[in-house]
Amino acid sequence: MSKHQHEHEQRDTQEMVQEMVRAMSNKGWRITDQRKSLATLFAEAEGYLSPKDVYESMRQKYPGVSFDTVYRNLRLLSEMGVLEQFYLNDGVKFRARCQTHHHHHMICLQCEKTVTFEFCPMKQVPNLPDGFQVVNHRFEIFGYCDECAAHATTRQ
């Protein structure tokens, strides 16, 4: 990795942490060291984190933290739109939501590789009930990437 790429990634991480902390503050949350650490953990994560992953990470720095507290914060952060929540083969997982623009994902159920696509199918949904105002929506496609599909075929 070049020095420029590393500096760019650090800046992106710092911006993501600031966005997450700002969202918490806007909802009236006290900004504690634990919540800053939680934001940093997700900003630095390359993939999806299970509640257990987050708990194990947080417990290293904050030995007194409970799993219930971690899980409750994950759910609240998901409800406020800071984190995205996904139900994958091995249970619920979370990752930081992209705050910059609207997009959707294709997610490999085996390796969790995620491909972003900009097309929004909501624009083509026919026959929505009259008077129904859509406030938010999610659209993910789950399947197997080329590599995982190829490995599955060779094992059969």
The CATH 1.10.10.10 domain(s) of the chain lie at 3-96
| Angstrom distances, CA of residue 28 to CA of 21, 36, 76, 94 | 11, 15, 12, 22
- pLDDT band for position 9 (50/70/90)? very low
CATH classification code of 3-96: 1.10.10.10
- pLDDT tier for residue 111 given thresholds of 50, 70 and 90: confident
> How, if at all, do strands 114-117 and 104-108 pair?
antiparallel
- At 5 the pLDDT is 35
pTM, two decimals, is 0.72
- Which pLDDT score is estimated for 153? 63
Of 48, 22, 46, nearest in space to 35 by CA: 22
Region 99-105 average pLDDT: 73
Looking at residue 116, its pLDDT comes to 80
Fold annotation for 104-155: Dna Ligase; domain 1 (3.30.1490)
Sign of the CA dihedral 130, 132, 136, 141? negative
